[in-house]
A = this chain, B = another copy of it.
Amino acid sequence: MINVGILGATAYTSLELIKILLRHPQVQLSYLGSRRADPPPISTIFPSLRGACDLKLSPLDPTAMPGDTEILFACLPHTVTMDVLPRFLRTEIRVVDLSADYRFSSGDEYSRWYGIEHKDPDNLPYAVYGLPELYGDLVRKARIVGNPGCYPTGAIIPLAPFLKEGICESDGIIIDSKSGVSGAGRKPTETTHFPECNESVHAYSIGTHRHTGELISILSDVAATSVEPVFVPHLIPMDRGILTTAYATLKKKTREERLLEVLRRFYDGKPFVRVRADAPIRTKDVLGTNYCDVGCKVVGRKAVLVSAIDNLVKGASGQAVQNMNLMLGLPETEGLL
């Protein structure tokens, strides 16, 4: 069994990660690091883990982590990871970071969207953007994987094939995403107070959401030209799931069947992308799974691309394990089906 650890073990992404790792046949969880002063068993924080995982929390300190830990997942908040991680990187350990801190290749780009100078710019060149369907080969050898944001995962997967193959225009792209509330994290706020967000929908951070930076960076890389989409996230009264509806202008009139072929060919051999033409793309069909379902329609000169993911699985912890599998040379789907 391969030892793995988690930094920031009390986040929702960590809970999901623990559940996935407990089922994984090749790894065992040996370290749960947390900022909390007097660390209780994790099952006190998450009663659902009682009986299944009674590991205690440990301090965020490399000496508290078993020496043979091979993979470390960081579930800390943005801006905290880059503060904590460097002292863990002194060992041989390899890292999957679920925060945004290692998703950009340049500290400047990071600063632009996160409003703070990057504290660990020296390690950025060793970090790979962990969307396995696009960068799997790099992930296999990476020291640090910047695990993608939930919204970018749902948007990049349907858009990438058409940008890469020059089928749609690189400008005028609109990404309208609808997310469940768990994406907002565990901290209670007015926005996530049940009587405020239940039975309601609203758009937020229109054009200013931090994931926009990630979208620009990766979509531009894929298209090999500058892509600056309009990105508008919405909060939906459900626990989990992101549905993304992306609108792109087709360079020339194209039939739906042709677009489906492009998608199928692009994701051929990618076990977690399901291109579907048979039924509506629904977040419910991917709930609790690492799948990204993708569909498309043509309306006039616009391609309407729809994707569904579980924000806590393919949008976070499942994808992190998918990356770990690649890093360890395991089958990509190990522990994820």
Residue A269 at the B interface, CB < 8 A?
no
In whole angstroms, how far apart are the Cα atoms of A289 and B24 in the complex?
A: 16
In whole angstroms, how far apart are the Cα atoms of A194 and B235 in the complex?
A: 12
Residues of B contacting A207 in the complex (Cβ-Cβ under 8 angstroms): 297-300, 304
Residue A197 at the B interface, CB < 8 A?
yes
Stretch of A68-76, A120-128, A280-288, A315-323 contacting B (4+ beta carbons < 8 Å): A280-288
A274 to chain B, nearest CB (A): 5
B237 lies within 8 A of A285 (CB): no
Q: Say which residue of B44, B206, B241 sits within 8 Å of A200 (CB atoms).
A: B241
Residue A2 at the B interface, CB < 8 A?
no
Q: What does the 1/0 interface line of A214-250 toward B look like (CB < 8 Å)? A: 0000000000000010101010111111010101010
Tallying the copies of this chain within the complex gives: 4
Closest B residue to A291 by CB, please name it.
B51
Residues of B contacting A287 in the complex (Cβ-Cβ under 8 angstroms): 48, 199-200
For residues 168 through 183 of chain A, which have their beta carbon under 8 Å from a beta carbon of chain B? 172, 174, 176, 178, 180-182
A174 to chain B, nearest CB (A): 5
B178 lies within 8 A of A234 (CB): yes
Stretch of A109-117, A141-149, A185-193 contacting B (4+ beta carbons < 8 Å): A185-193
A277 to chain B, nearest CB (A): 11
Residues of B contacting A188 in the complex (Cβ-Cβ under 8 angstroms): 188-190, 192-193
A179 to chain B, nearest CB (A): 9
Residues of B contacting A291 in the complex (Cβ-Cβ under 8 angstroms): 51
In whole angstroms, how far apart are the Cα atoms of A243 and B236 in the complex?
A: 11
Chosen A-B contacts, 27 in total, with CB atoms closer than 8 Å, are A22-B337, A23-B23, A51-B271, A51-B291, A174-B174, A178-B201, A180-B195, A181-B194, A181-B195, A194-B194, A195-B239, A196-B284, A198-B198, A198-B238, A199-B241, A200-B282, A200-B283, A200-B284, A201-B282, A203-B245, A203-B306, A206-B299, A207-B299, A230-B247, A230-B300, A230-B304, A232-B299
